[in-house]
Structure 1
């Protein structure tokens, strides 16, 4: 049987989903692996859960290998729900409607579970270890038999009784050269013994998997470099279970789990290999991916030829291998995108702009220089010729005029506006569109408010908090601090004194006086401690600082913090935002910190609710009465996605506000920053960025966001602080526009603001109705927004 004919064999669950979506499993010859596309992240989890249960009914006693992290959130929730409510009418109906036999509940204790991977070294009792995760969500959660689980427990691999991993690897750094080199001392000798034990464990682990016949059902996500398990880009397709290093992209993605990239850089991983996954030719292997951020690696995995640079291409020869993905993740699949356009009754204006823009960029031509021959050379642009005839050849001129208009419009600064800038995190506005804010602030008739909607505590490391506490301790015995206590300066309710914190810091920054800047930091941290602990005694505060310092020294990075620690870390982020806008002359009264309650630091974040999360935004709308509202406008919620959830909360608040006031003329500015980018066809306001505004961005970021200077939680695209990545993106967008409009448009423009442009920020300006059309309804189980 050929691979093509094998790929046409599909399960009942898959068959029904393909009927529902009216799509094929494979679009040959471009696609090399069966793919099912669903609308959104919750639907992805539901489909995967139903396919898993369908498989489980027919393969009791086989082996299963399931993923960790945030991606399987809805898969886990749906499997849990269906297993624990199997005989309920609602669950029975869901099973039957989706092709799962409701009369045969699978015996979950019959399965052998295989853990995919684990960091090394890591204490397996830590809540951010994968060992802890699989025990919580799969062994106990799904009711599996723990005796049949093949797990990776670093605490037991080569470790003697009463010995710990910290004793073997005191700096949590494993020197792989000890596999071959001669140990220099007793510690290195013991490390070598443990390292050899780990290597032997990996060999034995692989053997045990093969003795069980390989993996029966494999479910995995896909990393930013395309990794499956921890088989990073470049992994051998014949790789087996091993202890190995990772690459930067993987380290950046793991930083949030491990408490910072400074930790993940030094972690090795134990992972099953690509051959481990494909050893059983009948393996049902499913890779799930959600969101446009995954579109590029998904495209490579599905459409590329087999290559070590594309780890998932190892799955191409498995007849039961699949990709289950959302529409956003499927965005770049060539054949599907083309057929969508071809089958559409009408091709939208945005799609026309997208096709022609990509044609010009691919041909490396100005829009005005595109020819009929160029249009005929690519299927999507040829389709425009077929649909619109010679009229299609006028599209480049129309698009050029529009793009020029979008640039010129950005130079016309609006006046007499009340602008509410909203953000999920405290650096989002800055990274998204600071060059525009700088211009807007120069117009005195505009009023600005900056509303941060989560506390952002996850972005603050324990080491940074410890450093700030040590700075604060050094100021306690200074006479000026004694005077401040006597003046009740640290009263958290006094806005005048809060502003003086900012002035102190910024005066120090202007004078290049680090001690004065540290005093500003210390003042605000003490104020925050007074607020949290309701303390006004110097001695009690000293004890609190000692207690907190001990906490930050002893807690492992990445551990979920206690609520008051989360609050303290979040207040550090809020302080940084106060500094940022103080930098531009705004006082703390213009900066609003809402701390929406869905943001709790859990593995799987909650959905926003009306009373808890929408109400605070609605109250601000009533008070401020904005004419313009900005929002982080990410293209698709990938489930555990703070940006997307904040977008939905803002959208709902605006809807309620417009209904109660009748106000429909609010303008929405959608922005994206370092995580997502607009295609030129998706935006309609192009803000020029000069060297001057780039310098402002970098200086302000590095001096306001102290907790982010070390880039502990960076993007996988850039090894450094986010301000550097934002500038990189702005320059890339300028290069697009220079290619599309021609260099002379910039170099010989009459307007010096255009001649000095070396970057662009893209915004999408929308009416309120347009914004609501774009904002998707959240999937709720207990309360609907």
Structure 2
């Protein structure tokens, strides 16, 4: 099939194993998310070189960072050796440096209403990153500024919609109050503004170059599942998946649930039939959406299928995002030598396809299957060989180890729990083992202003009733606050046992007081009260999702640290074994001393025999995951120069965002029903900032622990279908008889781990 790939795309396609493209919209699959940034940047500059006066619309999500970084890098190095080498490699050898000043930038969407000066406004993002950052002409740009959209009677949106809630049913029903009449007329004026915005785009010939990520429901811009494929610019509501994704930007789903959006439509994208519409996506979490978007017939259930009519539409994907495409599955089996991992996948997938237990599969079933029939030396023993290898992984996951020092790392608070908690619980039951839990970032972004405000008000109330007794000790404000931080934990845990919610809250307030004294260097109760009042004033005058002052960020981070200590104290881990490393990259101060040395010093001090980390080998997860993986890798590399690490094991786990498959891993850990319940109880009792799910997974409207339990259960069903129910129900092992969940994780040697992380690191080399 002729897909009319550009020179840049052809060059990237040659580097991939996936050569046969049969989807309804063509795609290119890359081995890492950073490399998608390079592909996107080169493709953009290639198009601009041919269309210097063109109309463009570019992404405004955090995932656009690599695209922006590489675009700047290429323009800054166009005519030096670095730039020349990259251009020669990727089809732009003879292209003159593009001038971006003639382009017309179109903002694809915006929350409404929102102050355009807020950092989480997409208008602000467009101005800072594209108008200023790329040097686009501000006079030509079409931007969505809430302040400039006229409403009824010339009123400001804060007067018309004082709670920021907009009832779109007013388009169709009678307005029953004066305020509703004002809102109704304003909604129609917004609709007229949207019509005019759409007209301006079309008068310019339509969008010629469009680039966007894709949402977990398949949305493009804010065109969610169910959107008409001929829709134009409009004011509209969003769905849960979109609200969950935007919760981090808006300060919690409590805000994003009620915030409407203005978005260009799917019809806007198709107005110019030559529009080069690029959708990029990374990670296996989005693989089902990608499959539905480019293999299915056009459907309003899959917004991206609307692009099938555009001859220049493209999907730029990581191999993980492409993993469920028919082409990718074919390539997996055909493009490299066969191994037992492929046999495992083919047999396990066959069980699912024909809904048949592995023990019931017959040789005829395997021969009739497209991929099982490719297994070398296919025989009656093939299925048993897979059952044996998966059982061996299960046995490895059940081993009771002794005399080990575990150093478990998490990019964020709760990552370790949601990744491997049943395994860590078993490790902690052996007295000869030593466990350390190390969180690499502060995590303050996960604490809402509302939570902190309520906590400070509770603290003031306890102060007023004389229930923060520790402040009465003579040396408390001098150095007494530094001691017995674990006392707050045990006060809280005792009252979990006592089921006393009021006293649990008091324990949190105790820790809050210690944190306040530590951060603000307070000398007495009067200063403590004044500081609380000052913080409350700052929070009152802050917008949801706004950037807090550094000291308030630190306070929020220390609340998250308390939560992490609570979790592991449940299982007997002391406070001194829970480490808060605050790596520098999280605060914009990235270097060896701030990112790698804290981890390396812990390795030197505790000498772990097992190190765990969240592993995302294609760099497609949250940016923090990639940076932590690289920091841990560099620390291991340095430590390897100092000591013999031939017996050190590296455990790679994934949490609710990304999953392994049973054929990807070396270890499968069975999870009992009791462990599933323990996970939920621990999460609910300890991660107090998260229990109301202000920042939920798009996969479930609830707590992360609920998502995790569902994932572990689904993974158990996958293994159960291979091994059979009786393998579990009649097993001699009580643990396997009680198993209702599974955790998959990698186990690598130092050499293997460093090789995998180095492969990902190479994708970043060109950024210098």
TM-score class normalised by the smaller sequence? over 0.9
Pick the aligned partner of 1:626 from 608, 613, 624. Answer: 608
- What pairs with 1:730-769 in structure 2 (closer than 5 Å)? 730-769=712-751
Whether 1:523 aligns to 2:510 is: yes
Partner of 2:150: helix, strand, or coil? coil
- Tell me, what secondary structure is at the counterpart of 1:72? helix
Asked if structure 1 preserves the Cα contact closer than 8 Å seen for 2:407 and 2:438, the reply is yes
- Partner of residue 196 from structure 2, selected from 204, 207, 232: 204
Distance 2:321 2:311 in 1: 22
Which is worse superposed, 622-631 or 639-648?
Answer: 639-648
Judged with a 3 Å threshold, the aligned counterparts in structure 2 of structure 1 residues 589 and 161 are, in CA distance, closer, same or farther, namely farther
Deviations 1:235-257 (A, max 9, x none): 11111111111111111111111
Instruction: Tell me what 2:421 maps to.
Output: 434
Structure 1 position 231 matched with structure 2 position 226: no
Distance in 1, matches of 2:480 and 2:648, equals 32
**2:129 corresponding residue in structure 1:** 137
CA contact (8 A) 2:603 2:639 kept: yes
Aligned to 2:72: 80
Q: Which of 216, 227, 239 lines up with 2:208 in the alignment?
A: 216
Quote how far apart the aligned CAs of 1:163 are. 4.3
- Tell me the distance in 1 between the aligned counterparts of 2:56 and 2:551: 40
**Partner Cα distance (2:748, 2:82) in 1:** 40
| Match of residue 382, structure 1, among 370, 373, 387 | 373
C-alpha separation between the residues in 1 aligned to 2:609 and 2:596? 19
Q: Secondary structure at the match of 2:747?
A: strand
Deviation at 1:536, TM superposition (A): 2.3
Provide the secondary structure at the position in 2 that maps to 1:476. Answer: helix
Unaligned 5+ runs, structure 1: none
CA distance in 2, matches of 1:269, 1:155: 14
Residue 637 of structure 1 corresponds to 619
Contact 1:492 1:531 in 2 (8 A): no
> Offset of 1:374 from its aligned partner?
2.0
Q: CA deviation at 1:490?
A: 6.0
Equivalent residue number for residue 658 of structure 1: 640
Query: How far does residue 494 in structure 1 lie from its aligned partner after superposition?
Result: 6.6
> After superposition, where does 1:209-358 map in structure 2 within 5 Å?
209-344=201-336, 346-358=337-349
Distance 1:12 1:737 in 2: 45
Aligned counterpart, 2:359 = 368
Deviates more, 1:125-134 or 1:55-64: 55-64
- Is residue 353 of structure 2 the alignment partner of residue 359 of structure 1? no
Question: Would the aligned equivalents of 1:27 and 1:336 in 2 still touch at CA under 8 Å?
Answer: no
CA distance, structure 1, for counterparts of residue 315 and residue 325 of structure 2: 12
SS across alignment from 2:685: helix
Taking the aligned partners of 1:492 and 1:720, their CA distance within structure 2 comes to: 41
- Would you say the 8 A contact 1:252–1:713 is kept in 2? yes
CA distance in 1, matches of 2:251, 2:470: 38
> Quick check: 333-342 or 491-500, which moved more?
491-500
Deviations along 1:107-140, one digit per CA (max 9) or x if unpaired, are: 3222221111111121221111111111111111
CA distance, structure 2, for counterparts of residue 554 and residue 537 of structure 1: 26
Give the deviation of 1:301 after TM superposition: 1.6
- The more displaced of 49-58 and 614-623 is 49-58
In structure 1, the partner of 2:688 is 706
Secondary structure at 1:728 match in 2 = helix
Q: Which sits farther off after the overlay, 446-455 or 489-498?
A: 489-498
CA contact (8 A) 2:441 2:586 kept: yes
Deviations 1:517-571 (A, max 9, x none): 1221111111111111111221111111111111122211112222222211111
Q: Which residue is equivalent to 1:172?
A: 164
CA gap 1:483/1:287 in 2 versus in 1, 3 angstroms: closer
Distance 1:440 1:296, change over 3 A: same
Question: Helix, strand or coil: the match of 1:688?
Answer: strand
1:10 maps to 2:2:
no
The answer to whether the 8 Å contact 1:678/1:762 transfers is yes
Secondary structure of the corresponding residue to residue 36 of structure 2: helix
Residue 280 of structure 1: how far off its partner (Å): 1.0
Question: How far off is 1:98 after superposition?
Answer: 2.5
Shift of 1:754: 1.8
Once the two structures are TM-superposed, the CA of residue 640 in structure 1 deviates from its matched residue by: 4.6
Distance verdict in 2 for CA 1:186–1:720, change over 3 Å? same
Q: CA deviation at 1:81?
A: 2.9
Q: Matches of 2:480 and 2:10 in 1, distance apart?
A: 61
Which residue among 671, 677, 688 is the counterpart of 2:670? 688
Give secondary structure in 1 for the equivalent of 2:62: coil
- Residues 443 and 64 of structure 1, relative CA distance in 2, 3 Å threshold: same
Report the TM-score when normalising by structure 2.
Answer: 0.95
**Which of 520, 523, 530 matches 1:543?**
530
Find the partner of 1:770 among 732, 752, 757: 752
- Give the direction of change, closer, same or farther, for the CA distance of 1:672–1:90 in structure 2 (3 Å limit): closer
Q: Partners in 2 of 1:782 and 1:319 — Cα distance?
A: 31
Matched, 1:408 2:403: no
How many residue pairs align between the two structures?
766
Q: Which residue of 2 aligns with 1:716?
A: 698
CA deviation string 1:22-59 (max 9, x = no partner) = 654x623xx11121122222221111111111111111
Do the aligned residues in 1 keep the contact of 2:415 with 2:655 (CA within 8 Å)?
A: yes
Cα distance, 1:419–1:492 mapped onto 2, change above 3 Å: farther
| 2:585 paired with 1:598 | yes
**8 Å Cα contact 1:426-1:573 kept in structure 2:** yes
Match of 1:558 among 520, 535, 545: 545
- Tell me, in whole angstroms, the C-alpha distance in 1 between the residues paired with 2:63 and 2:341: 30
CA deviation profile, 1:343-377 (whole Å, cap 9, x unmatched): 32x22322221222111222222223222332233
Counting only pairs closer than 5 Å after superposition, residues 40-189 of structure 1 correspond to structure 2 as 40-100=32-92, 104-159=96-151, 163-189=155-181
Find the aligned partners of 2:368 and 2:479 in 1 and give their Cα distance.
66
Alignment correspondent of 2:21: 27
For 1:366 and 1:79, locate their aligned partners in 2 and report how far apart those are by CA, in whole Å. 51
